[in-house]
Amino acid sequence: MPRHFVSHFVLPMVKGGRLRVGRPVGWPAVARLLRAHDASHAPARRETWATAEVARLRQLCAAGFGVDAGPFPLDESSLRLAAAGHDLLLLGHPEIVGRPREQERVAKLAQELADLGPPADLCEAVARYSLLARLPDVVRVEHQVRVGPSWLRFELRATRGSPSAAMRALARLTSTPVASRRRGWWTEIGFPVCADGAIEALFRACPLLEAMDPMRLHPPLSWRRILPALRFPTLGRVVAGRMVEIGSEPAGSALVMALLRFGSAGERDEAPASGEEIAFAIRFVAHVHWLHQLFGANRELAAGSDFAALLAAAADVEPRLLWPPDIVRDRGPGLRFARTLERLRAETPPCVPDRYRAMRTLCALAASF
């Protein structure tokens, strides 16, 4: 597998197509891949073409973010992230499911590979995301033939790219169709609990991967991890646009729930957020609502949502958290926003009193900055 890792896994992950998940890819394999792609070595022709194609597609992805960067090389950090993604997908493979010790070993290896820390600059953040952007879209095609009455049913399953010859023969013999379905590896099949640390390390190394999927339930969204990406204005605008695309109310509420965890007790034994970090997060949530008013669906924000509770509390405690300094408040979008805030201030406290009080405490901490 490592010998053809780029053409069999990395390129399909970036471009789309059938990718192959094989044995765990660890540190020795990453070292061999680095040597193989070094200028002093000559990799196989197919691998050379695949490497160039991956670089071209990653450059196109970066251009979509407005980042004018040269082709991103398959350096050590890229190969480590790709290997970590491969090993995470391996955890859902039928041949390893049900073998907890092997799963724990692979999950620990994936965590070590992904533990790169947050990106140092905008270019690095986009480079990492350009490699992993389509990882959540990976699906597994499953084929199934069911023979016999419902109370005594024989099932033959396969999870390869196409039904096996034996499965097709059984289907013809019994006049039973082969049922096929596609299951999302990232969302439906999921990962064992032992993989939590590896996924968090991957999100920490590539915060855009987590920020672009705020509705993911496990591991829960973490402001500590996504802040390094959102502080770059270019990426902040892209992520805010993604929130509106998903739906500003559900995505905004997911951001607010994560913000409550971030500001109250910290995350994973880390110190609670500072007032500056919370103020930045509230302004980002308000920016999502501004985009919703300007470009989103023409629908009023429900007073009972967490998103509305934060906006109402911020309007009461410190309105400057919500208002950009160059917005005129008595006409156009500013007037519509002011009317929305007045409605939420009247309707939200009696609707969700406990949540509203928690939001006021959070906004008070931000206002003290």
The per-residue pLDDT for range 183-216, each reduced to its tens digit, is: 787 777 778 899 999 999 999 999 999 999 998 8
Higher pLDDT, 27 or 176: 27
Average pLDDT over the chain reads: 85
Please tell me whether residues 222 and 356 are part of one structural domain.
yes
Please tell me whether residues 228 and 336 are part of one structural domain.
yes
pLDDT by residue (tens digit) across 322-347?
Answer: 998 888 888 888 898 999 999 999 99
Q: What is the pLDDT of residue 156?
A: 43
Please tell me whether residues 158 and 66 are part of one structural domain.
no
Q: Is residue 255 part of a domain?
A: yes
Listed range (156-160, 213-217, 313-317, 350-354) with the worst mean pLDDT: 156-160
Whole-prediction pTM: 0.85
Listed range (27-41, 52-66, 131-145, 338-352) with the worst mean pLDDT: 27-41
Question: Is the pLDDT assigned to residue 254 strictly greater than 70?
Answer: yes
The first and second tokens of residue 135, run together, are: 């990882």
Please tell me whether residues 119 and 251 are part of one structural domain.
no
Please tell me whether residues 216 and 360 are part of one structural domain.
yes
CA 80 to chain centre: 18
Please tell me whether residues 357 and 228 are part of one structural domain.
yes
Cα–Cα distance list, 153 to 106, 215, 216 (Å): 35, 37, 35
Instruction: Please give the average per-residue pLDDT across 124-152, as a whole number.
Output: 77
Q: Distance (Å, rounded) from C-alpha 235 to C-alpha 228?
A: 10
Q: What is the pLDDT of residue 234?
A: 92
Domain boundary among 135, 151, 172: 135
Q: What is the pLDDT of residue 367?
A: 86
The first and second tokens of residue 365, run together, are: 């901490």
Bridge partners (DSSP) listed for residue 163: none
Q: Is residue 203 part of a domain?
A: no
**Which of 213, 28, 21 lies closest to 112, judged by CA?**
28
Q: Distance (Å, rounded) from C-alpha 72 to C-alpha 127?
A: 7
Question: Is the pLDDT assigned to residue 166 strictly greater than 80?
Answer: no
Q: Distance (Å, rounded) from C-alpha 205 to C-alpha 88?
A: 15
Question: Is the pLDDT assigned to residue 126 strictly greater than 50?
Answer: yes
Q: Is residue 205 part of a domain?
A: no
The domain in which residue 90 lies consists of 2-135
Please tell me whether residues 149 and 72 are part of one structural domain.
no
Please tell me whether residues 341 and 216 are part of one structural domain.
yes
CA 245 to chain centre: 15
Q: Is residue 229 part of a domain?
A: yes
Cα–Cα distance list, 369 to 15, 87, 277, 311, 321 (Å): 45, 42, 9, 18, 11
Q: What is the pLDDT of residue 177?
A: 66
Please tell me whether residues 50 and 8 are part of one structural domain.
yes
Task: List, in sequence order, every beta strand (DSSP E) within the chain.
Answer: 139-147, 154-158, 179-184
**Which of 86, 84, 82, 62 lies closest to 72, judged by CA?**
62
Q: What is the pLDDT of residue 93?
A: 79
Q: Is residue 63 part of a domain?
A: yes
Instruction: Please give the average per-residue pLDDT across 243-272, as a whole number.
Output: 83
How many folded domains does the chain comprise? 3
Q: Is residue 131 part of a domain?
A: yes
pLDDT by residue (tens digit) across 142-165?
Answer: 766 666 554 334 444 445 556 666
Instruction: Please give the average per-residue pLDDT across 4-9, as a whole number.
Output: 91
Please tell me whether residues 111 and 217 are part of one structural domain.
no
Instruction: Please give the average per-residue pLDDT across 311-321, as a whole number.
Output: 93
Query: What is the share, in percent, of the chain residues with pLDDT greater than 70?
Result: 84
Q: What is the pLDDT of residue 170?
A: 53
Q: What is the pLDDT of residue 151?
A: 38
Residue in this structure with the two tokens 């429900």, named with its chain if needed: 302
CB atoms within 10 A of CB 264: 14
Q: Is residue 204 part of a domain?
A: no
Q: Is residue 47 part of a domain?
A: yes
Please tell me whether residues 228 and 116 are part of one structural domain.
no
Please tell me whether residues 163 and 33 are part of one structural domain.
no
